[in-house]
């Protein structure tokens, strides 16, 4: 079945404070959606809520992946179902090497007895690291520990490539990347574009979208999507900022507001 990811009226709260206020979005296989929006409007909260981060309490709405209820799934089940998130601030895990982590993640998605062999895994990882121009030593470093900002971002893309997810959420994957690394990461993403995979790319800058061409661009304010369009919307935001959107929609405070 073609990939279909549906978010309908999603509401989420942190410590009793509502951040997402009824967000709807549909992503089909083959599509790239970009979400832009001012700071503090709920973009990362959306990403974390979709992945089932325990801090975020979903208080309303529905999320389905190929008809299956995502909100009912535990975090690992969501990953197994094909959801992947590259976080804005990837966590460091001391004591677990990058390769151990990735091999466990791959095997968690496979049936018992069908685990990837060590040799196959190493070949796959070496190949992908080469594509991303990563130093092989990163295989044996502890996950993200002491990685530079850009190295962390590149490592998130390595995980995406190895895990072969059907819905990819990238939260500010471009932040902290130098110009060459941005191109390498974008190439990695573009190589993963396919009819059965959908992308949700959260970014502040049009520049990333020059390399990864979105089909749809959405503006997020006040915990929901307030405007959608094509790539031209991102270009206008880049040159004019968000004031015109706020004026058009009569929005005074674009953040998720106070309790
Ligand atoms: N764990 C948390 N505890 C308290 N407040 C939180 C938490 N997570 C998010 N918030 C609040 O929710 C609001 C939305 O945050 P979020 O990180 O989703 O914004 P964002 O749109 O991703 O912003 P940015 O563009 O700066 O990354 C902010 O006001 C933030 O302070
Ligand atoms: Mg954010």
Query: Which tokens belong to 255?
Result: 């953040």
Q: What is the pLDDT of residues 92-149, one digit of tens each?
A: 999 999 999 999 999 988 888 999 999 999 999 999 999 999 999 999 999 999 999 9
Query: Which tokens belong to 256?
Result: 């998720």
Verify whether ligand 1 is closer than 6 Å to residue 44 (CB atom): yes
Cα angle 252, 220, 237 (rounded to 5 degrees) comes to: 85
Verify whether ligand 1 is closer than 6 Å to residue 39 (CB atom): yes
Which residue is closest in CA terms to ligand 1's atom 31? 40
| Cβ neighbours for 75, distance < 8 A, ≥ 6 positions apart | 51, 52, 53, 54
| Cβ neighbours for 230, distance < 8 A, ≥ 6 positions apart | 214, 215, 216, 217
Could you tell me the domains of the chain?
A: 1-26+40-84+196-225+249-259 (3.40.50.300), 91-164 (no CATH)
Verify whether ligand 1 is closer than 6 Å to residue 40 (CB atom): yes
Q: Identify whether the C-beta of residue 156 lies closer than 8 Å to the C-beta of residue 88.
A: no
Q: What is the pLDDT of residues 241-254, one digit of tens each?
A: 999 999 999 999 99
Longest dimension (CA), the chain: 59
Residues in the chain: 259
Cα angle 245, 250, 253 (rounded to 5 degrees) comes to: 85
Which residue is closest in CA terms to ligand 1's atom 30? 40
Mean pLDDT (whole number) for 157-177:
96
Verify whether ligand 1 is closer than 6 Å to residue 223 (CB atom): no
Say if residue 197's pLDDT is above 70.
yes
CA of 145 to the centre of ligand 1 (A): 24
Confidence band of 1 (pLDDT split at 50, 70, 90) = low
| Nearest alpha-carbon partner for 48 in 63, 33, 31 | 63
Query: Which tokens belong to 168?
Result: 């990819």
Distance, CA of 163 to CA of 112 (rounded, Å): 17
Verify whether ligand 1 is closer than 6 Å to residue 256 (CB atom): yes
């Amino acid at each position: 079945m073609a990939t279909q990811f549906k978010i309908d009226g999603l509401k989420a709260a942190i410590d009793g404070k509502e951040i997402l206020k009824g967000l709807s979005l549909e992503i089909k296989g083959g599509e790239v959606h970009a979400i832009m929006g001012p700071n503090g409007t709920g973009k990362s909260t959306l990403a974390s809520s979709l992945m089932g981060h325990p801090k975020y309490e979903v208080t309303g709405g529905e999320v389905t992946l190929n008809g299956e209820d995502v909100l009912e799934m535990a975090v690992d089940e969501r990953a197994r179902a094909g959801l992947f998130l590259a976080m804005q601030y990837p966590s460091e895990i001391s004591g677990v090497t990058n390769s151990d982590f990735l091999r466990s993640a791959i095997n968690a998605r496979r049936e018992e007895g069908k685990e990837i062999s060590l040799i196959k895994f190493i070949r796959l990882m070496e190949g992908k690291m080469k594509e991303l121009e990563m130093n092989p030593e990163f295989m044996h470093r502890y996950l993200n520990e002491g990685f530079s900002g850009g190295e962390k971002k590149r490592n998130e893309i390595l995980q995406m490539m190895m895990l072969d997810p059907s819905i990819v959420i990238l939260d500010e994957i471009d932040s902290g990347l130098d110009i060459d690394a941005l191109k390498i990461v974008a190439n990695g993403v573009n190589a993963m574009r396919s009819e059965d995979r959908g992308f949700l790319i959260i970014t502040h800058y049009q520049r990333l979208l020059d390399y990864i061409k979105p089909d749809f661009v959405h503006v997020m304010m006040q915990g929901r999507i307030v405007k959608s369009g094509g790539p031209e919307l991102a270009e206008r935001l880049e040159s004019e900022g968000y004031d015109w959107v706020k004026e058009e929609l009569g929005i005074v405070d674009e953040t998720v507001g106070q309790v």
